[in-house]
Amino acid sequence: MTYSALAAAPPDTAPATATHCPYCALQCAMSLRPTPRERLPVAVAGRDFPTNRGGLCRKGWTAAELLATPDRLTSPLLRGDDGELRTVSWEDALDHVAARIAALRAESGPDAIGVFGGGGLTNEKAYQLGKFARIALRTSRIDYNGRFCMSSAAAAANRAFGIDRGLPFPLTDLDTAETILLLGSNVGDTMPPFVSHLQGARARGGLVVVDPRRSTTAALTADGAGLHLQPVPGADLPLLLGLIHVVIAERLYDEEYVGRRTTGFAALRRSVAAWWPERAAQATGVPADTIRSLSRRLATSGSTYILTGRGVEQHADGTDTATAAINLALLLGLPGTPGNGYGTLTGQGNGQGGREHGQKSDQLPGYRRIDDPAARAHVAAVWGVDPELIPGPGVPAVQLLRSCGRQGGIRALLVHGSNVVVSSPHVQSVRDALGRLDLLVVSDFVLSETARMADVVLPVLQWAEEEGTMTNLDGRVLRRRRAVPPPAGARSELWIMAELARRLDAPGTWDVEPSRVFDELARASAGGPADYSGLSHELLDAGEVAHWPYPADGESTPRMFAHRFAHPDGRARLVAVRAATRESPRGAQLSLITGRLLEHYQSGAQTRRVPELTEASAELVAQLHPATARDRGLRDGDRVRIENGRGSLEARVGVSGNIRPDTVFLPFHFPDDQSVNLLTDDRLDPVSSMPEFKHAVVDLTRVDRARA
């Protein structure tokens, strides 16, 4: 049926399109029904699906508002000599971009061109972007915002298991758990339908939440439903080391599993010998008896799951902290054992698929290493190029952005699906870096804060206007389907990349049809750790349940590690890690922690354009404990200045007993002078290159009410 026919049909008889939410990695299923006589082009309804069971969060229910946002971009914009962005034709915009790239590449070499991708791009676009960077631009300088999200968890999983899939089991397996240990994740706000999968553990008194705040999720442990541990910010690693110490010292670990399925136990035992519960209690603020009792509960529960999120991973020791959580899970014999497991909760909508197919600086499609000659040969054959044409490893996101406009760094940057001037750490340095570029090209559907700085802005499609696939938090490959036509002037990134590739005389083929791009992705991934070669749009449209790996001669893999891990010897690695000292508050200073609000998502570029969500949470609020507020003479609604050596901002005070007295919480959705990333540290994890988002030391002072 054509769209004109849909428009003529009564709203209650027009066929619905089955698709998935444009926000987080839960990828809740929804149906979109055209509403041609209403303000919004579609009506949203929840659809029964294992992750959300028909439910949606506030963001999902209001997702149709994005399709009607009044500041939607429908024509390319080019910055003139007077500094103003003006409408131009697609031909002129793409000619300009291609000519500038060619000139800068000729002057400074291909690595003078950089690409920054996003974890919200479809698998097809993420794959094509990696190919475009390496074959059309011939640059190694590509990375993506998943480096700010999942990199520590991925690095920990790769070195422990030999492969990284956020949840290596279906999310629904959590329904029958007796005990769930949830570290650093507030799913009650970030992905509310997830909470239904915690109800079994709650009913058994086994939901354990580790969070410096009494978050929405931590509050679920009340009335005997579980336990909330409220450690010192950044003390998750000492807490885990203390738990491991008890498990080993009291011989609570699964000796048969550890002996048969792991290596490294002796070194791990030595490394935690000094972390007796009393010492862990001193480092974390969690009582020693609680550490002992929790260790015993985890070991004796009939069904135990350990889950981690960004709160423990977005640190300069995030890989080691995630590794410690994996060590604990392996000691207890959880991974690969029915009714038990370890996993990490992917955040962005396609955070899983986005890191599998070539956006990361060191990877090729199928989660292959770019420095592996066999991987290069395989992918080059699919692309129809000589393997020598594929550049080597690039640099991770923070280093990529730092290099903008510097000697030997990148001179042009193409940004897809990311709002780096809000979401990056030490964000003022990133704003300064982008200002040094010779060329900044941003593809977006609105004039985001990053797009406002661009020399060229290219208007692209939104979620309900495009076909493609996404991969959710438990490795399930899903179909995103077109429900409405896009505005006349917007274009798919696949088309944009094909047009630029043609102008740059790039080798190979550049398809614009998502199903055919997916078929190429499947061939490129064949034999790799993230093997999609048995999948296609046609198979997914037929209703196939598809958890990767899904090889051409195999089937879906909903549960991994039942018989072996992905290392050559089939064993998991227990990796000894050590807690390092970190900057602590002095005197009246506070620890700053950052996170999300129920109403908003990531940099807020989408949700801040939805009136209902903005009205519910319209400005930056600093959450403070009543004692902290009282000591500073502050009341609810007062204004404060929060600052450190990197920057400063002002916020309104929200007094709450749900936070530690030594801590202040700020959400990271707000732009410009309300961006919490003015204060965050770009110090990096040495393994994953994850920045230190979740911990900073700040001073907080009252702002005169006359200025408020």
pLDDT at 12: 54
Instruction: Report the pLDDT value the prediction gives residue 149, as an integer from 0 to 100.
Output: 87
* Helices within 359-426 (DSSP H only): 373-383, 397-402, 420-423
Q: What is the pLDDT of residue 339?
A: 97
Q: May I ask the CATH class of domain 590-707?
A: mainly beta
Per-residue burial over 583-618, b if 16 or more Cβ lie within 10 Å, else e, is: eebeeebbbbbbbbbbbbbbbbbbbbbbeebeeebe
The stretch 338-359 carries a mean pLDDT of 92
Task: Examine the pLDDT at 172 and tell me if it is beyond 90.
Answer: yes
Q: Is the pLDDT of residue 360 over 70?
A: yes
Stretch 385-403: mean pLDDT, rounded? 97
The band of 708, judged by pLDDT with boundaries at 50, 70 and 90, is very low
Average pLDDT over residues 520-531: 97
Looking at the domain 77-149+350-512, which fold is it?
Rossmann fold (3.40.50)
Q: Which pair of structure tokens corresponds to residue 621?
A: 């609020």
pLDDT of residue 331: 98
Q: Are 463 and 59 in contact (CB under 8 A)?
A: no
CATH architecture of 3-68: Single Sheet (2.20)
Pick the more confident residue, 4 or 150.
Answer: 150
What pLDDT shows up at residue 2? Answer: 33
Query: By the 8 A CB rule, do 466 and 122 touch?
Result: yes
Mapped onto helix, strand or coil, the DSSP state of residue 448 is coil
Average pLDDT over residues 376-400: 97
Question: How far apart (Å, rounded) are the C-alpha atoms in residues 587 and 700?
Answer: 12
For residue 464, what pLDDT band results from cuts at 50, 70 and 90?
very high
CA 455 to mean position of chain CA atoms: 27
pLDDT for 13: 58
Percent of the chain with pLDDT over 90: 91
| The predicted structure's pLDDT at residue 6 | 34
What does the pLDDT average to over 606-622? 93
Tell me if 368 sits within 8 A of 524, measured CB to CB: no
Domain boundaries, the chain: 3-68, 77-149+350-512, 151-344, 590-707
Question: Domain 151-344, what fold?
Answer: Dimethylsulfoxide Reductase; domain 2 (3.40.228)
| pLDDT > 90? residue 365 | yes
The pLDDT tens digits of the residues spanning 552-597 come to: 999 999 999 999 999 999 999 999 999 987 778 888 899 999 999 9
Reduced 3-state DSSP string for 1-59: CCHHHHHHCCCCCCCCEEEECCCCCCCCEEEEEECCCCCCCEEEEECCCCCCCCCCCHH
Does residue 110 have a cis peptide bond before it, meaning omega lies within 30 degrees of 0?
no
How confident is the prediction for the chain on average, in pLDDT? 94
In tens, the pLDDT along 195-224 reads 999 999 999 999 999 999 999 999 999 999
Tell me how far apart the alpha carbons of residues 145 and 416 are, in angstroms, rounded to a whole number: 10
Quick one: which H or E segment has residue 427?
A: helix 427-435
Q: How confident is the model over 315-335, as a mean pLDDT?
A: 97
Strands (E), 288-393: 304-308, 341-344, 363-364, 368-369
- What's the pTM value of the predicted model, to 2 decimals? 0.95
Q: Are 161 and 185 in contact (CB under 8 A)?
A: no
pLDDT for res 544 = 86
Residues 301-322 pLDDT 10s:
999 999 999 899 989 999 999 9
125-147: pLDDT as tens digits:
999 999 999 999 999 999 999 99
pLDDT, one tens digit per residue, over 101-119 is 999 999 999 999 999 999 9
Position 272 confidence tier, pLDDT thresholds 50, 70, 90 = very high
Alpha-carbon distance 404 to 421, whole Å? 13
Say yes or no to pLDDT of 418 above 90.
yes
Does residue 21 surpass a pLDDT of 80?
yes
Percent of the chain beyond pLDDT 70?
A: 97
**Which of the four pLDDT bands, split at 50, 70 and 90, describes residue 666?**
very high
Phi then psi for residue 62, to 5 deg, are: -100, 10
How far is residue 416's CA from residue 405's CA, in Å, rounded to a whole number? Answer: 19
* Sequence-distant (≥ 6) Cβ neighbours of residue 345 within 8 angstroms: 25, 166, 167, 185, 187, 191, 194, 307, 308, 309, 473
8 A C-beta contact, residue 179 and residue 298: yes
Helix (H, G, I), strand (E, B) or coil at 75: coil
Length of the chain in residues, anyone? Answer: 708
Nearest to 247 by CA among 208, 285, 296, 207: 296
Q: How far is 43 from 32, CA to CA, in rounded Å?
A: 6
What does the alpha-carbon distance between residue 412 and residue 454 come to, in Å, rounded to a whole number? Answer: 11
Residue pair 372/366 in contact (Cβ under 8 Å)? The answer is no
Torsion of Cα atoms, 398 then 399 then 405 then 408, to 10°: -170
Distance CA(51)–CA(44), nearest Å, equals 17
Whole-angstrom distance, CA of residue 340 vs CA of residue 174? 8
Does the CA dihedral 458-463-466-467 come out positive or negative? positive
Model confidence over 145-166: pLDDT tens digits? 999 988 999 999 999 999 999 9
State the pLDDT confidence band at 36, using cuts at 50, 70 and 90.
confident
| Residue 584, pLDDT score | 82
CA distance 69 to 187: 27
* pLDDT at residue 680, rounded to an integer: 95
